[in-house]
Structure 1
Amino acid sequence: MTTTTQATDRCGAPIIELTAPLVGGSRTRSSAGTAGLEPSEAERSERFSQMRAGELGSVHSWELVTAVDGPGTRLTVFLSGCPLRCLYCHNPDTMEMRRGEPVTADELLARVARYRGIFDVTGGGLTISGGEPLMQPAFLARILRGAREMGIRTAIDTSGYLGAHCSDQMLDDVDLVLLDVKSGIPETYKRVTGRELEPTLAFGRRLAERGTEIWVRFVLVPGLTDAVENVEAVAEYVASLSTVSRVEVLPFHQMGRDKWDSLGMRYELDATPAPSADLVERVRDQFRAKGLTVF
């Protein structure tokens, strides 16, 4: 990375003074990286104990978006580290925790606090994504608690695979879970992620039993997740969860392909096209047939 690039990366997103209500915002992603967040200077030997205590986390990036990662304008923070290896991952650089920047919980919460006015005006809040945020449960818990103490609405974007890492106390500080249900058939799930399906299903059931609101996300990949029986299995499961308020069918795209190449990772979906409009509508109709609200 050149000096010029570093300077550009450190500019970050602008801090908006609320002299008037803000009702706009980006519906597309434009990450600021970790610009505006001061990395921890703790010695490596100290970092492990700080991470175990939730005082320090590995942060990939953050961004300010509207109508993408929950209602209203959201500050979405992407944590590094993920146990899944999804074939279509568009941020493979978040898979390994070591690729993130060490950032203290206090530093991150100070950044979150700057946007309280925007959150109040738009009905937005803080979303913690990844990677997989539950790879860093202590840090996640501290951030959620800090946000709740400031009166900020919270959401987590998770595959649910590490749902066992999410304590009931942590869920008390979560208003919304964006649950990524990547397949309804175990064999397909294993093909997509390299992992087992059941932990995700169990976490979703637990959320519903607690009364936690859920938005389900399903990535539609031609030739991989689009089979009628696979979608039907997802739809039946989602319909069984009483607290699901919406389903988002996300069409596959190739926007992350270059990242796989730059990381020296083998990308298996190079020849996979984006789904046609007809295919997307067929899949959405399968969810609608179960009485679900679909986007």
Structure 2
Amino acid sequence: MTAEQAGAVGVQDFLAPAARLRGAGTAGLAELSDLEHADRLARMREGSLGSVHSWELVTAVDGPGTRMTVFLAGCPLRCLYCHNPDTLEMRRGEPVEADELLARIRRYRRIFQTTKGGITLSGGEVLMQPAFAGRILRGAKEMGIHTALDTSGFLGAAATDQMLADTDLVLLDVKSGIPETYRKVTGRALQPTIDFGDRLNERGIEIWVRFVLVPGLTDAPENIDAVARIARRWSPGSMTRLEVLPFHQMGRDKWAALHMDYTLADTRPPTNEQVRAVRERFRGFGLEVR
């Protein structure tokens, strides 16, 4: 048996139980619902406890290789197309010990080594819980595991220098290139995202820009060009790819279950032709596009 075959068998052995847990909230992680409220807040501030919505193992989605993506609860943005509105409020997550999560991560080191994968901290918005995120990133790096943050960058100022030193890759969501459109999409300002991207670029941290293509909302040519100009600030340099993510309706039922007003209910996903055209427009700016 070759080394590659042995590695493949190892990955299959590990992925079988992980697949059963996918989408199972915080299954397998300690729940601490009996903690007193004040104590819980204090521990979250110092980073030993976090509010975790769920976790899953995915391949070639949230960074290179097979990754354990951890979704933290809480987000300051209110994106019209959010497909996980159940992560918007921190109270909807489960309290999870940092040490318990790191122990879970340690169990998958063999997968990460074999597939050149790692962990991705996502949300919600991961930077709503910077102390907890920082502790997980530090622990992962001590294990020699590749680390990534999936963030809008709106709270980039909350990321400490040590946190960034422990981050190998940032999946930076640039939701619009025009400030007015960005505010319409998210309810927030665009500039903090640009500032955070500039900071990442200065430190030489790899960036994958992510852009969600929503017909009638983010697909105007002038908006596409504005996103391209932002991405080009960091390319060549830190930005190694731009991903165009087609809008979908998979979160619609969650909005209904939460009794939230979903204004994009009648918006259709972009066609394959529309997606290809936007990718080509980005490539016209000299960007690496996926």
Q: Same fold (TM over 0.5)?
A: yes
Are 2:176 and 1:187 aligned? no
Gaps of 5+ in 2: 1-5
Would the aligned equivalents of 1:90 and 1:256 in 2 still touch at CA under 8 Å?
A: yes
Contact 1:90 1:257 in 2 (8 A): yes
Residue 249 of structure 2 corresponds to 254
- Distance 1:23-1:207 versus aligned 2 partners, 3 A rule: farther
Q: For the residues of structure 1 that align with 2:101 and 2:218, how far apart are their CA atoms?
A: 36
Aligned counterpart in structure 2 of residue 32 of structure 1, from 18, 24, 37: 24
- Please state how far the C-alpha of 1:268 moved relative to its aligned partner: 0.2
Give the letter for the 1:76 counterpart.
T
> Offset at 1:68?
0.3
Alpha carbons of structure 1 residues 176 and 127: separation in structure 2 relative to 1, 3 Å? same
Return the offset for 1:246: 0.8
Q: Percent identity?
A: 66
User: What is the distance in 2 between the residues matched to 1:45 and 1:208?
Assistant: 38
Asked whether the 8 Å contact 1:23–1:121 carries over to 2, the reply is no
**Contact 1:82/1:95 (8 A) holds in 2:** yes
> Counterpart of 2:224?
231
Letter in 1 for 2:9: A
Alignment of 1:121-270 (within 5 A): 121-241=114-234, 242-270=237-265
- Residue 20 (structure 1) shift: 3.1
Question: Contact conserved, 1:34 with 1:60, CA < 8 A, in 2?
Answer: yes
Show the counterpart of 1:290: 285
Stretches of structure 1 that go unaligned for 5 or more consecutive residues are 1-16
Shift of 1:22: 2.3
**SS in structure 2 of the partner of residue 238 of structure 1:** helix
CA distance in 1, matches of 2:254, 2:22: 16
Residue identity opposite 1:272 in structure 2: T
Structure 1 CA distance for aligned equivalents of residues 125 and 286 of structure 2: 29
The letter for the 2-side match of 1:186 is P
CA RMSD in angstroms comes to 1.9
How far 1:260 sits from its partner (Å)? Answer: 0.3
| TM, length-normalised to structure 1 | 0.91
Q: Does 1:42 align with 2:35?
A: yes
For 1:115 and 1:219, the matched residues in 2 are separated by 30
Q: How many residues align?
A: 278
| Aligned 8 A contact 1:127 1:154 in 2 | yes
State how far apart, in whole Å, the 1-side matches of 2:286 and 2:8 are. Answer: 42
**Cα 1:211/1:80, change in 2 over 3 Å:** same
The structure with the largest helix share of the pair is: 2
Q: What displacement does 1:240 show?
A: 1.5
- Specify the alignment match of 1:7 in structure 2: none
Structure 2 residue matching 1:179: 3-state secondary structure: strand
> Contact 1:219 / 1:252 at 8 angstroms: preserved in 2?
yes
**Range moving further from structure 2, 82-91 or 241-250:** 241-250
Question: Are 2:43 and 1:54 equivalent residues in the alignment?
Answer: no
Q: 1:247 to 1:23 in 2, by over 3 A?
A: farther
Question: Equivalents in 2 of 1:68, 1:95: separation in Å?
Answer: 21
Residue 19 of structure 1: CA displacement? 8.8
Distance 2:129 2:241 in 1: 27
Residue 79 of structure 1: how far off its partner (Å): 0.1
Once the two structures are TM-superposed, the CA of residue 174 in structure 1 deviates from its matched residue by: 0.1
Structure 1 residue matching 2:195: 3-state secondary structure = helix
The partner residue of 1:73 within 63, 66, 75 is: 66
What is aligned with 2:275? 280
Shift of residue 18 of structure 1?
Answer: 7.3
- Residues of 2 paired with 1:170 and 1:120: CA distance? 22
Structure 1 residue 169: Cα displacement: 1.0
- TM-score normalised per structure 2: 0.92
CA distance in 2, matches of 1:116, 1:201: 33
Q: CA–CA distance in 2 between the matches of 1:108 and 1:183? A: 33
* CA pair 77-101 structure 1, distance change in 2 beyond 3 A: same
The answer for the alignment partner of 1:22 in structure 2 is 11
